[in-house]
Structures are given as C-alpha cells and as structure tokens.
Structure 1
Amino acid sequence: MLIAAIPVFLMRNFEFAAAQAREQHDCIKLRNVYDSMCQSWTNQNSETQSHAESQNRSRVLTSHNPQRSLIAESIAYDKLWSDVISLQQRIERLEFRSEGICQFLYKGKCFWIEARFDGITCDQARDICSAYEAKLGNVYSENHYYMLLGWLRVLATDGNFQAWLGMTYHPQSRSVSLTDGSEAPFIKWRPGHPRNVVTSSCSMGLRASRKWRSPNQHLFHACANREELRGVICEK
C-alpha cells in the first residue's frame, strides 16, 4: 500500500510544480507587459501635457480626445495589475501545496489532515507535522471550525473521526490558548466539557461525525498522557 502511494504523492508534487512554473511564467509575462504599458503611458502623458502648455486646449481636434484615451488606458493598466496580483496569489497557494499536503487555505495558512487509524498520541502527532516543518493546527473562527469539520467528516467512515489540534486547555483558568500562546478566538465544547481536571494543561482535539447534522461534533480536551486519536490537523 505504501509503495502504491509513493508514485501518487510524487505525481501530485510534479503537477503542482508544473502548474507553479506555468503561472510564474505567465506572471513574468504580465509584469513585462504592464511595465511596458506604464512606460508608454508615462511618455504619452508627458507629451500630452507639453502639448497642452503650448497650445490652447480649445484647439484640440474634436476627432481625438487625448484625455479620454488616457482614462481608457489607465483602466486597462489597472486591469493588468489586478491580473498580476491574482497570479501572484495563485502562485503562493501552489507553493503552500507543493511544500506540504495542503488541503485548503484559511487566511494565508495551509491546513491538511494526516490520518492514522491505528491511533497516535499528541507527541506523535506533533512529530508528524514537524516532518513538514509545520505545527499542530489551530481553530481561528467559527467559519474555520466548520471548514475543518467538513474535511474530518470525509474520514469518518465508521461514524466519527477525532484529530489532534495544537490548542491547549488550561484547567485553572478554564481558558484555551493557541499554539502561539494567544487566547483562542472561538471554542465549541463537547457536552460536559470543559471538565474539572487536576493538571496544569491539556491537549485538545476536534471530533467530526459522518452525519453533518449530528450534535456529537465539537472541540474537546484530552488530558491523559497516552491518549490516542486517529489523526492530526497540521498547519503551515
């Protein structure tokens, strides 16, 4: 099974690299066209101003309106610049995906799920993400929470799926922090959580159900040292 998976993984990386190269080429071409048009526009604008200074504007031929022409060209340049920025953003997305196994982006951060159906501890989960120079994932908003649930739901073949997160529950203050130590902006606890536990901190996970309307989907804390879940959400 592993042998069969390797060519697929390599093929995905080759596809990403090829697409990235094509878009980088397109972006360079657009930049060159944009720079050339900007230079042309600057020269024409300068010539028009010089002409206006030497002659009365009322004598400009009615068959040609330099000002209207300049406005039209300015709109065209803005459109070109918009295309350049769009290509740059697509290149960044491809770079994220080629460096890891990115399933989706959220506010510039790459997320993917590593399934380990035999079960892994939180330390093992952290090592899996670290292999990609990534970290355990956070939940940044309600919208992000439901996006993650959607991806986990695909793996819930026997009814539910639970994956490690990088967030930490602090029993003494009953608060939750992200991997950078800041306060978690969104929490949706499982029924009965958070519990009163005698420990300084607890790791956290996310549970999804195969049935998207199921109420048994939530964040939870896992305080046992050797507790195992079936996957991990990585963030880069």
Structure 2
Amino acid sequence: MWFLACCVLLVTSVAAQQNFDCKPRPGCHLVRCDPGKGHSGSSLFSMLARNDFPITCVSRSSPSITESREDFSKSASINGVSDLKEEVEGQQEQMSEMLMDLQSLWQAIKELNAKQTESLEHDIELKKIVKELEVTNNTNPAKSVKSDFCPIRYNGSCFWVEIRYRGVNCQQAREICANQNGKTADIYSEDHYYVILAALRQFAIKYGWVDAWIGMRYQPPPINDASLADGRAAPFVKWHPGYPMQINQTCVGLLANMDWRTHNQHLVNNDATWTKRGVVCERLE
C-alpha cells in the first residue's frame, strides 16, 4: 500500500501542474491491483520501473505542443487571410474613388472643350460680321478715314471706343466725341449692335466688365423704350435684365462682360450724372 500511496501523491502532484484526470484502470480495484502485493523485497524504484500500474491518467485540458502549434498556425493563417481581405477591400475602395475622380475630371474637360469650341465659333462669327461690314461699307474710298482712327465702319460712318477708367458722365462723353468731330454713337441693327459690344468687350479685361455711354436715348412711358439720338425709333434694342427703369433717366449706356454668354450685360438707362468708364463714338466718313 505504501507504493500505491506514493503513486497517488506523484500522480496528484503531476496532475496539479498538468491538469490530468486519473482513475483506476478498468477492471482493477486498487487494493487488488497493488503491484507491491506478492512481491517481497520490492522497492519504490523497482516498482516505478514497471509498466503495469493500477491508475490511468488522461490530460484534462492542456493541449499537446503539436496541437498548440497547429492551433497557432491555423489562427495565424485565419488572421492573415482576414488582414489580406481588409487590405484588398481598402485598395478596391481607393481605386473606385480614383475612378470616380477621373470620370469627373474627364467630364469637366469635355465641358471645357465644348465651351472653348463655342467661344471660338462665336469669335469667328464676329470676325466674319466685321469683315462683311468693312467690305460692304467701304465702297467710297474718297470719304474713308484712315484705318488707324476707324476700327469699325458701318453704314457710311466710323465707330470707335474711348475709355476713361476714372469715369465720365453723360455730358462729358458727348464732349469727348465732339472733340474728334464725332458724336455719341447710335445702334443701327442687330449685327451692328454685336460688333460694337465685341469692340467694347476687349476693354473689359481689367475689371471683367466695362460700360460706356452711347448716343441713344430712353423715352419714358408711354413709349418706355430707346430711340436714336434724333428721336427716331431704334431699329434694335437689347436691354440688360431689369431695364429700362421707368423713370426720367434718359441717358443710355452699354455694358459689356468678359463672358459673352452671360445676361449681365447689354443696354441700361441711367441719370446723366452717373459715370461710366468710356463712350462709343460715331463719325460720318
């Protein structure tokens, strides 16, 4: 029995550290299976050297080193796949955002090209109109003035723009034209209007817009429209949005914007004391 007690103590000590479940071997009662019984002179060491013991022990929870390595490898593999999946998903999201940015950029480029093409076509059309006006109205060379002093010819008259960025009122504008044997200009047709507007627009670079007095007059109600300087009905009128103002402001000016497509331009009527940045003059050839 002393041997059995030693085995129990030994197994109990080992089990305490390794978490074993120990019980009698199947078909064996501890008293009858005591290997010391019937063996006289048995020693503890000789008993321990035997392969036949009445107690069997099974590991309760601690896995073997091999199992632990396998579990660790599986866990590491699963974590690695999860990390790789997150990285791939992140890269896919970034690529999707880059694709959307590229599509937006491409659309912006297409719109810009369309606007540039439209602007170019508009400029070409204006040049054609100016050329036609010069050819049509330059049929009498004897009355023609030098081209340096006549950038625009129409209907037997010369038209040009005088800019005074400090501003001039309506009366000062008339005096500027009169000092060059001219008068403030009238508008005689739609084509003529857009040629004058384009000529004025080239001075809009400094501020993005420019305005100038012309010779047309505003006729208050019941007429409520513009006339030529001599009182005749104007052949073509294109008012700025919100104009004419139905008050006694009879001087008429022309506003030109750098962006020829905007509605923030065209004819306005103002008080004679208002100032504008220039004047459009007209002189008979």
- Among 217, 225, 228, which residue is 2:275 paired with? 228
Q: In structure 1, how many angstroms separate the alpha carbons of the residues matched to 2:155 and 2:244?
A: 28
**Does structure 1 retain, via aligned residues, the 8 Å contact 2:225–2:244?**
no
Normalized per residue, which structure has more helix? 1
Matched, 1:186 2:233: no
Q: CA shift at 1:128, angstroms?
A: 0.5
**Does structure 1 retain, via aligned residues, the 8 Å contact 2:190–2:236?**
yes
**Does structure 1 retain, via aligned residues, the 8 Å contact 2:162–2:279?**
yes
Q: In structure 1, how many angstroms separate the alpha carbons of the residues matched to 2:174 and 2:140?
A: 29
Letter in 2 for 1:96: V
Matched, 1:103 2:151: yes
3-state SS, counterpart of residue 214 of structure 2: strand
| Greater RCO structure (CA 8 Å; 6+ sep) | 1
Letter in 2 for 1:228: T
Q: In structure 2, how many angstroms separate the alpha carbons of the residues matched to 1:92 and 1:148?
A: 24
Give me the identity figure in percent: 41
- Among 214, 217, 233, which residue is 1:168 paired with? 217
Larger Rg: 2
Matched, 1:133 2:181: yes
Q: In structure 2, how many angstroms separate the alpha carbons of the residues matched to 1:142 and 1:210?
A: 20
2:261 corresponds to: 213
Stretches (4+) displaced over 4 A:
none
Cα deviations by residue, 1:41-84 (Å, 9 ceiling, x for unpaired): xxxxxxxxxxxxxxxxxxxxxxxxxxxxxxxxxxxxxxxxxxxx
Q: CA shift at 1:196, angstroms?
A: 2.0
CA RMSD of aligned residues (A): 2.0
**Does structure 1 retain, via aligned residues, the 8 Å contact 2:208–2:258?**
yes
Q: In structure 2, how many angstroms separate the alpha carbons of the residues matched to 1:231 and 1:131?
A: 15
Q: In structure 1, how many angstroms separate the alpha carbons of the residues matched to 2:142 and 2:251?
A: 31
TM-score, scaled relative to structure 2: 0.48
1:177 corresponds to: 227
**Does structure 1 retain, via aligned residues, the 8 Å contact 2:238–2:266?**
yes
Letter in 2 for 1:146: Y
Q: CA shift at 1:181, angstroms?
A: 1.7
**Does structure 2 retain, via aligned residues, the 8 Å contact 1:121–1:226?**
yes
**Does structure 2 retain, via aligned residues, the 8 Å contact 1:97–1:110?**
no
**Does structure 1 retain, via aligned residues, the 8 Å contact 2:241–2:263?**
no
**Does structure 1 retain, via aligned residues, the 8 Å contact 2:216–2:227?**
yes
3-state SS, counterpart of residue 96 of structure 1: coil
Q: CA shift at 1:89, angstroms?
A: 3.0
Cα deviations by residue, 1:108-144 (Å, 9 ceiling, x for unpaired): 1100000001000111000010011111001111111
